[in-house]
């Protein structure tokens, strides 16, 4: 079964820490050893794993993506949000985290971030948890 995490974004571009929501789903699933697939079904958003401890890392990522992909650069797409589409492709729309002893195997400083590039909007992340149940 696929579960969903709803994410309400509050800015045009934002990285939102969804680690605790995903951990909650892993706990609920009672999977002891397996994998957690995360998929973002949007064309102007993405998902990434990076440092969650220092919020300035998040700001640096946003700032650097803005520099690489400016808001206006003579894009052809009429909707006016080509920068968001390009950022979505750069960051990617899926990731996987391994599960062991019922816990996500993230590194000490790692968090899972939903990446909004054309907000604010109501978004969702599809989550598929697979593996063997805890004994
Ligand atoms: Zn568009």
Q: What is the pLDDT of residue 41?
A: 98
- Give the pLDDT confidence of 51-105 residue by residue, as tens digits: 999 999 999 999 999 999 999 999 999 999 999 999 999 999 999 999 999 999 9
Span from the CA of 118 to the centroid of ligand 1 (angstroms): 9
Reply yes or no on whether the pLDDT at 32 is more than 90: yes
The Å distance, Cα 96 to ligand 1 centre, comes to: 26
Is domain 2-133 classified as CATH 2.60.120.460?
yes
Give the whole-angstrom CA distance, residue 35 versus residue 23: 12
Give me ligand 1 centre to Cα 78, in Å.
7
Give pLDDT, residue 134: 75
- Region at 14 (left for phi over 0; alpha for psi -120 to 50; beta for the rest): beta
Please report, for the chain, the start and end positions of each structural domain, with discontinuous segments joined by +. Answer: 2-133
Q: How much distance in Å is there from the Cα of 44 to the middle of ligand 1?
A: 7
Is pLDDT at 135 greater than 70 in this prediction? Answer: no
Single pTM value for the model: 0.96
């Amino acid at each position: 079964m696929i579960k969903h995490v709803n994410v309400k974004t509050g800015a045009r571009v934002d990285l939102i820490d969804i680690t605790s929501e995903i951990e909650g789903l892993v706990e609920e699933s009672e999977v002891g050893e397996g994998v957690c697939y995360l998929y973002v079904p949007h064309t102007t958003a993405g998902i990434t794993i990076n440092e969650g401890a220092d919020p300035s890392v998040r700001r640096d990522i946003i700032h650097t993506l803005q520099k690489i992909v400016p808001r206006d650069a003579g894009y052809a797409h009429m909707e006016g949000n080509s920068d968001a589409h390009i950022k979505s492709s750069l960051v990617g729309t899926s990731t996987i985290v391994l599960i062991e002893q019922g816990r996500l195997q993230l590194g000490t400083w790692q968090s899972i971030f939903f990446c909004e590039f054309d907000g604010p909007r109501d978004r969702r992340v599809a989550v598929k948890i697979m593996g063997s149940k805890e004994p």
